[in-house]
Amino acid sequence: ATPTALLVGTGRGAQLGILIKGPEVLESTRAVDTVVLDKTGTVTSGSMTLVAVHVADGEDEDTALRLAGALEHASEHPIARAIAAGAAERTGTLPVPEGFANVPGLGVQGVVDGHAVLVGRERLLNEWSHELPPALSAAKAAAEQDGATAVAVGWDGKARAVLVVADAVKPTSAEAVRRLRALGLRPVLLTGDNTQVARAVAAQVGIAAEDVHAEVLPEDKVSVVRQLQERGRVVAMVGDGVNDAAALAQADLGLAMGTGTDAAIEAGDLTLVRGDLRVAADAIRLSRRTLGTIK
């Protein structure tokens, strides 16, 4: 490969809003046939809002919001930000937790106003033997049917509320998936979120249900990429989160959203500066064309 042709490629990349770690990166895109897309923050805007509050019999909404909001205020997860903002808006200043721990891929736990509080996936609450009462299970199922995320809240030994947050698919994502397919690439959706939400998002952007990997714990995202590689696929991965860093590094080509975390940008080979997924297709087309001129 002549260095000059590669450098021309990187210069054109900068014009398109693609930052390339080094000219050698383009080489690795040659044989890419699969593009793994993180869901939250990559295919969806990642800026969620609190859209509904459901409480168990005898509980009040403001208490649920205050306890959940106080804990989530200490987390940087997009779901946590939505809950903290929605809770503060409705209940005023949130208490400072007396204890806080992040449970990666599951939620948060801690102590607020003397109550032991859990906020996150139903699985997190189940681990502490909190079971959702039927009315809350039904509210959760209905929210997930719509492609929203239901967050369970428990305190003092019982599941007592379900908060619904929704995260819209970015207006550019369906077009981005079409462009990737037009390049002969197979798009795959990868997320820690539940299967129903993941499938609803996949359907909206045109990814087949069989290409959806949901409920994947952060440390297992890298395994999904590795398994695809073991089956002979050459994998590009697009992601934005701290959770995506290992998978971005494992992929044959890692593309980080410029709007994402430093950890993702650090781990990626390329950065999509404006966080526009359509540019992922441009990046792959550009590198193929650049390499084409070299051969």
* Residues recognised as catalytic: 38
Residue 243 makes contact with ligand ADP by CB under 6 A: yes
- What is d(CA 176, CA 62) in angstroms, rounded to the nearest whole number? 41
Q: Point out which residues pair with 102 in neighbouring strands.
A: 108
Helix 173-182 and helix 195-205: axis angle, to 10°?
Answer: 70
Q: Which stretch binds ligand ADP (CB under 6 A): 21-29, 113-121, 227-235, 263-271?
A: 113-121
Helices (H) and strands (E) in the chain, counts: 11, 13
CB of 272 to ligand ADP, least distance (A): 17
x/- track of binding to ligand ADP for residues 211-240 (CB under 6 A):
-------x----------------------
Residue with tokens 């200490």: 74
Residue 102 burial (10 A CB sphere; 0-12, 13-18, 19+): middle
Nearer to ligand ADP, 72 or 269 (CB): 72
173 contributes a contact to ligand ADP by CB under 6 A? no
Distance (Å, whole) CA 135 – CA 151: 14
When binding is defined by CB under 6 A, the residue of 13, 86, 97, 107 that contacts ligand ADP is 107
Which partner from the list ligand ADP, Mg ion, none does 77 bind, CB cut-off 5 to 8 Å by kind? ligand ADP
Tokens of 203: 């359907």
Q: Which of 56, 108, 117, 212 binds ligand ADP (CB under 6 A)?
A: 108
**Residues 6+ positions from 220 with CB-CB distance below 8 Å:** none
| Distances 184 to 35, 97, 180, 206, 270 between C-alpha atoms, Å | 10, 50, 7, 14, 20
Distances (CA, A) of 175 to 180, 272, 276: 9, 16, 11
> According to CB under 6 A, which residues from 59 to 88 bind ligand ADP?
72, 75, 77, 79-80
Instruction: Calculate helix-pair angle for 134-145, 195-205, nearest 10 degrees.
Output: 20
Using the rule CB under 6 A, is 191 a contact of ligand ADP?
yes
Q: How far is the CB of 108 from ligand ADP (least distance, A)?
A: 5
From ligand ADP, Mg ion, none, which one binds at residue 191 (CB under 5 to 8 Å depending on kind)?
ligand ADP
Q: Please select the residue that binds ligand ADP; options are 43, 173, 193, 260, rule is CB under 6 A.
A: 193
Q: How far is the CB of 242 from ligand ADP (least distance, A)?
A: 8
Tell me which residue has its CB nearest to ligand ADP: 192
Of 247-276, binders to ligand ADP (CB under 6 A) are none
| Residue ranges that bind ligand ADP, judged by CB under 6 A | 39-40, 72, 75, 77, 79-80, 105-108, 119-121, 149, 151, 191-193, 218, 241, 243
